[in-house]
Chains A and B, each alone.
Chain A
Amino acid sequence: MKGVAGFLRRIGAMIRKEFIQLMRDRVSFAAMVSIPLLQLILFGYAINTTPRHLPTAVLAYDNSALTRSILAAIENTKYFSITRHPVNEAEAEHLLRSGQVLFVVEIPAGFERAVRRGESPALLVSADATDPVASTSALAALGRLVETSVRRERFNLDDAPEGSGLEKAPPPFEFRTHPRYNPAAVTQLNIVPGLLGTILTMTMLIFTALSVTREIERGTMETLLAMPIRPVEIMVGKIAPYVMVGAMQAAMILGAAVLLFNVPVVGNLALLTVLTGLFILTNLSIGYTFSTLAQNQLQAVQMTFMYFLPNILLSGFMFPFAGMPVWAQWVAETLPLTHYLRMVRGILLKGATSADLVQDILGLAIIMLVAMVIAVKRFRQTLD
């Protein structure tokens, strides 16, 4: 009995000590509470693999009662949300390449007349098929749902008497869908370029987040601060090597993407290089900010992980961006990966130009500036 009592007493002492340490490490405690909450909210509310209300542009060369009811029927499917009305094809093309819309519906001139004449004209629907998950179910809904509803409303065909033959009449018009950029719906074409951004985010953040905390933990920071070197010089000196590491990683992933996964390079590689550099710098600045906030290396890793989670889930890497509720989209706009994914997919698959990506370039640059200012401000020259 005495042995058992001792056994329990020692275990009790150990448990007590662990709890005290656990409660004292606030960041660990915060991670324990916030990671499950974060996952619940993100997976539960934000993520939707059969996305609805996808942004759609309408290029209407014919404005008639019929086309209006077709557009209404398209929106009624809930899959589409008409957000843009471009005036010409060039503008429609830009919207598609920059990722502002996922679909362009083109109504040819004289459409209604052609229907009345029974010519069964075509509505052209171009889809951004880079992410097959986002576009496939919406496209499938088009023909069926829209046709039935327009038929019912405009031609009252459902009221046609049985056997009159009218309910089996040929459709008055047809949808001609054109899945662009990834017509074969190959998942890798979407995932592999995305991986470039994800891997860079992870490695760049971890390395820099550890770099300053390591110095503080080992006590070398005090000596460093007592030397005639400026905080900005320390920061640049610490970040520069990782820019090179990041560039090397990017080249490696890109090479593998092209050689192993047959990812096309439709756009300008030089533009991609410049923007990848911008993205790497942004991540390094954020990692550096974390390292000035964390008290030790463990906290730095925990912070990085907590930051990485929404990046993966909300940026459009794993799940369609357009399918998320508006609040989640706004959160995602503050994450560098969201912007970079549009850039890398846009350039590699769609041939996007800097003019197409100007919003994301600005977004990324703003995030980088904010992170850099915080990092420099947070990093103190003194131990105060």
Chain B
Amino acid sequence: MNAPAGAAGGVPSARHRAPDYAIDVRGLSKSFGTNQVVRNLSMQVKRGQIYGFLGPNGSGKTTTIRMLCGLLTPDQGTGTCLGLDILTQGRAIRRHVGYMTQKFSLYADLSVRENLEFVARIYGVPHADEAAREAIVALGLEGRERQLAGDLSGGWKQRLALGACILPQPKLLLLDEPTAGVDPKARREFWAQIHDLAAGGVTVLVSTHYMDEAERCHEIAYIAYGELLAQGTVESVVTASALHMWRVTGPDPAALTRELMETPGIELVAPFGTSVHVGGRDRAALDIAIARFAGREELVWRPDRASLEDVFIDLINRSRDNFR
């Protein structure tokens, strides 16, 4: 911390090097024993963006996030976070990154205020007690600041955890499934806050399982089996998938689903209530397949737009084939 004033405590100006990327990593790989959790992963996140990080359980999302904030050392690959080298400048990165773990990991046996003051002091926030008080007001936790953090409800815990993350005014937020197990109203408020922060210039990388949350992000990345399968805006990811979709409604969707799955040319079948989502990338093959059902008058066919979920299911089906 005895660097010259220009760089003291601050992120060194990275103008000469990937100016508008908060995260710029290439070829990251990580194995635990024989199990390769992340393979050759590259991604770029622009400053001030909300970047959704999607993928099934065990796909390597948490491992990737941990590599970004220096909690894990990549086996291979290089990159920068806020213009700082993730391999050598971990400590400097940590000062400017807020990391919210999947599991609530503030001190359950400390009060709300004590937790916030602890964080403020570790990060060297000036006037820690005052900063904590302001954070309590901003969180709407006035009157409960003496309550033990472990006694808060799930939604409030999540709020407090985010509050503790943003207290040191990080430039990059890494949020690992922050809304898991949180009710819809709290989720909505949470996302409103994320957008406020992004508007203020903070870059946010957020992992999630919820498709509706993915659509609230500026850009998304989809990871499965440790590999990044798609990256870009929701629109571009859907377009790039080149999926053609139909929605078919009929009296017995369960039987229809089984029947459709057997039909060659149909790559994707997903029941949705009384209707079934059907799709494939080869338009001609799909049309031939659907033509077989033309005589069935009880079925109503309507062309549909591929949803993000369709795209991901398709991606994961195909990547699974690759790994077998």
Contacts and interface: CB of A to CB of B under 8 A. Distances in A.
Interface of A: 218-220, 222-223, 225-230, 381-384
17 contacts: A218-B108, A219-B101, A219-B103, A220-B105, A223-B99, A223-B106, A226-B70, A226-B71, A226-B97, A226-B101, A229-B122, A230-B91, A382-B71, A382-B73, A383-B66, A383-B72, A384-B72
Nearest to B108: A218
Contacts of A384: 72-73
Contacts of B195: none
Interface string B242-285: 00000000000000000000000000000000000000000000
B73 A227 contact: no
Contact of A219 (B66, B70, B90, B105): B105
Nearest to B93: A228
Chain A interface mostly: loop
A382 B70 contact: yes
A383 B94 CA distance: 15
B301 interface: no
Contacts of B73: 382, 384
A381 B88 CA distance: 13
Contact of A228 (B71, B94, B106, B108): B94
Contact of B69 (A218, A226, A229, A230): A226
Interface range, B side: 20 to 34
A382 B30 CA distance: 14
Contacts of B99: 223, 226
Contacts of A383: 66, 71-72
Nearest to B66: A383
A220 B94 contact: no
Interface in B59-109: 66, 69-73, 90-91, 94-95, 97, 99, 101, 103-108
A59 B71 CA distance: 65
Contacts, number: 47
B190 interface: no
Contacts of B94: 226-228
B72 A227 contact: no
B148 interface: no
Interface of B: 66, 69-73, 90-91, 94-95, 97, 99, 101, 103-108, 119, 122-124
- Closest 9 A-B residue pairs measured CB to CB? A226-B99, A223-B105, A219-B105, A228-B95, A228-B94, A219-B103, A227-B122, A220-B105, A383-B71
Given A228-B91, A228-B123, A218 B105 contact: yes
A222 B71 contact: yes
Contacts of B108: 218
Given A227-B94, A382-B73, 11 more contacts: A218-B108, A219-B105, A220-B107, A223-B101, A223-B105, A223-B106, A225-B71, A227-B119, A227-B122, A229-B122, A383-B71
B308 to A, nearest CB: 30
Given A226-B69, A228-B95, A219 B123 contact: no
B252 to A, nearest CB: 40
A384 B67 CA distance: 10
Contacts of B90: 381
Contacts of B107: 218, 220
A381 B97 CA distance: 16
A253 to B, nearest CB: 29
A230 B103 CA distance: 23
B70 A220 contact: no
A225 B94 CA distance: 9
A219 B104 contact: yes
Contacts of A223: 99, 101, 105-106
Contacts of A230: 91
B69 A382 contact: no
Contact of A382 (B72, B101, B103, B105): B72
Contacts of A218: 105, 107-108
Contacts of A227: 94, 119, 122-123
A230 B107 CA distance: 19
A15 to B, nearest CB: 32
Nearest to B119: A227
B151 to A, nearest CB: 15
B148 to A, nearest CB: 13
A133 B243 CA distance: 89
B7 to A, nearest CB: 15
Contacts of A229: 122
A384 B75 CA distance: 10
Contacts of B71: 222, 225-226, 382-383
Contacts of A228: 91, 94-95, 122-124
Nearest to B122: A227
Nearest to B164: A223
B88 to A, nearest CB: 13
B72 A222 contact: no
A381 B91 CA distance: 10
A381 B105 CA distance: 17
Contacts of B69: 226
B174 to A, nearest CB: 8
